[in-house]
């Protein structure tokens, strides 16, 4: 008897140890699924923030453009004209009149004169990449150092509306940028000029192709860029057009999503392995419940065991979303309820079998189980 009792205790201890191990693995499954949901929620939040940031950037840019346009209109209403006239320089109209009087004047180009005109500014139409934005009248200026020779930046408004001259890579003439290629049918390429830097492109247009040619020539001389070099870069720009800020964010999101998918596949394999372990835990729990019922002298038959197939019961547990800590009680109650329905035990006492204590002949208490 002692050996059997010791053996039963050892087996019970081993079962408990196995249950602890499987429960620990089941907890890993739950944590993994919770972490996955947390990552998905964080990704959704980041996508929402990116979209909101895009909307706010566009709105702020539009508001600043409207403010600048109103200011230009107010200056025009009080008679303010091209600053070149205010500073004593000849206007484009006056230059045109001189060219008619002296045909050779059109072929002459003075870099020092262009520096003065560029510093005072020239009115151009500025275009944006977004198709729903109309053209905007802007004074394009070049800011020089104190000596008035070396350009520092090219501006078209206030605030961050400028390009650092050191960042300028190309002075393009024609339809070479995404903005102008999208409007190729509406604009004359001879009237289009683009200042291309590493992070920003300034696309401007003027009705006078002579003014555009003059600015192209002057800016290229200031940049020390030959026409051949500019043409080479223009061809490269058309073949490999830059991406917009929004496209850049989309590309980063796509790359992040691809990395997430690759990581997700590894996590999926790991999660599937943990799910199998969780199912093993359920099967082991079912076996333990039947063993306990047999030890308590419940009428457990082979037919009853076949009725409660662990694989089918596991699917039911998942549908009902029963926590793994409650599996044992749920399985036990389900089996006992079925026994009562089949008349194997008394429905009135189906939770636990009735137990009575009797006194033996030698005065020892003996436990009698009455089914």
Encode pLDDT of 124-176 as tens digits. 988 887 655 556 788 899 999 988 889 999 998 777 789 999 999 999 999 99
pLDDT, one tens digit per residue, over 77-128 is 776 554 443 343 344 444 445 545 555 554 578 898 999 999 988 989 888 8
Reported as a single tens digit per residue, the pLDDT across 48-80 is 777 776 677 667 666 766 666 676 667 667 765
Q: What would the pLDDT profile of 323-366 be if each residue is shown by its tens digit?
A: 888 888 999 999 888 888 888 787 645 555 444 333 333 344 44
Which of 162 and 249 is assigned the larger pLDDT?
A: 162
Is residue 197 within 8 A of residue 163, CB to CB? The reply is yes
Residues 284 and 27: their CA atoms lie apart, in Å, by: 16
Q: Is the dihedral of CA 180, 185, 187, 192 positive or negative?
A: positive
DSSP bridge partners of 355? 369
Helices 245-295, 310-320: inter-axial angle, 10-degree rounding = 130
CB-CB contact of 76 with 68 (8 Å)? no
Are 120 and 84 in contact by the 8 Å Cβ rule? The answer is yes
Per DSSP, the chain holds a count of helices (H) and strands (E) of 11, 9
Contact 292, 11 (CB under 8 A): no
Phi and psi at residue 201, to the nearest 5°: -125, 125
C-alpha to C-alpha distance for 95 and 108, rounded to whole angstroms: 12
Cut 0.95: pTM above it: no
Q: How far apart are the first and last CA of the chain?
A: 24
b/e sequence 289-305, b meaning 16+ C-beta within 10 Å: bbeebeeeebebeeebe
Long-range contacts of 79-86 (CB under 8 A, 24+ apart): 82/120, 82/121, 82/122, 82/123, 83/120, 83/121, 83/139, 84/117, 84/120, 84/121, 84/122
- What is the rounded CA–CA span in Å between residue 161 and residue 184? 25
Strands 122-127 and 201-205: antiparallel
Using DSSP, state whether 202 is helix, strand or coil.
strand
Instruction: Detail the DSSP E strand segments found in the chain.
Output: 122-127, 136-144, 151-155, 162-164, 168-173, 192-197, 201-205, 355-359, 365-369
The structural domains of the chain, ordered by start, are 15-50+250-369 (no CATH), 81-242 (2.30.29.30)
Decide if 219 contacts 243 (C-beta within 8 A): no
d(CA 9, CA 156): 87
d(CA 344, CA 347): 9
């Amino acid at each position: 008897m002692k050996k059997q009792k010791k053996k039963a205790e050892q087996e019970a201890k081993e079962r408990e140890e196995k249950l602890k191990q499987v429960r620990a693995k089941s907890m890993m499954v739950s944590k993994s699924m919770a972490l996955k949901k947390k990552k998905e929620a964080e990704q959704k939040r980041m996508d929402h923030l990116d979209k909101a940031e895009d909307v706010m950037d566009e709105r702020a840019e539009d508001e600043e453009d409207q403010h600048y346009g109103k200011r230009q209109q107010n200056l025009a209403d009080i008679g303010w004209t091209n600053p070149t006239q205010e500073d004593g320089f000849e206007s484009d109209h006056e230059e045109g009149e001189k060219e008619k009087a002296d045909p050779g004047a059109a072929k002459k180009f003075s870099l020092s004169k262009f520096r003065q005109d560029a510093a005072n500014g020239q009115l151009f139409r500025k275009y944006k990449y977004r198709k729903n934005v109309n053209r905007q009248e802007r004074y394009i200026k070049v800011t020089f150092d104190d000596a008035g020779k070396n350009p520092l930046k090219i501006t078209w408004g206030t605030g961050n509306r400028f390009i650092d001259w050191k960042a300028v890579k190309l002075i393009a003439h024609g339809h070479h940028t995404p903005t102008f290629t999208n409007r190729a049918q509406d604009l004359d390429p001879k009237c289009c000029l683009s200042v291309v830097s590493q992070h920003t492109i300034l696309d401007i247009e003027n009705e006078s192709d002579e003014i555009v040619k003059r600015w192209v020539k002057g800016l290229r001389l200031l940049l020390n860029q030959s026409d051949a070099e500019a043409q080479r870069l223009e061809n490269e720009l058309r073949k490999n057009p830059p991406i917009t800020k929004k496209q850049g964010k989309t590309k980063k999101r796509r790359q992040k999503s691809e990395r997430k998918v690759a990581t997700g596949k590894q996590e999926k394999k790991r999660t599937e392995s943990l799910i199998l372990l969780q199912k093993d835990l359920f099967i082991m729990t079912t076996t333990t419940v039947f063993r306990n019922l047999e030890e308590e002298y419940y009428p457990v038959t082979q037919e009853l065991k076949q009725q409660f197939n662990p694989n089918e019961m596991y699917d039911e547990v998942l549908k009902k979303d029963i926590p793994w800590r409650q599996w044992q009680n749920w399985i036990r109650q389900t089996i006992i309820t079925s026994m009562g329905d089949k008349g194997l035990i008394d429905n009135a006492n189906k939770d636990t079998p009735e137990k009575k204590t009797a006194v033996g002949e030698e005065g020892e208490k003996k436990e009698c189980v009455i089914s």
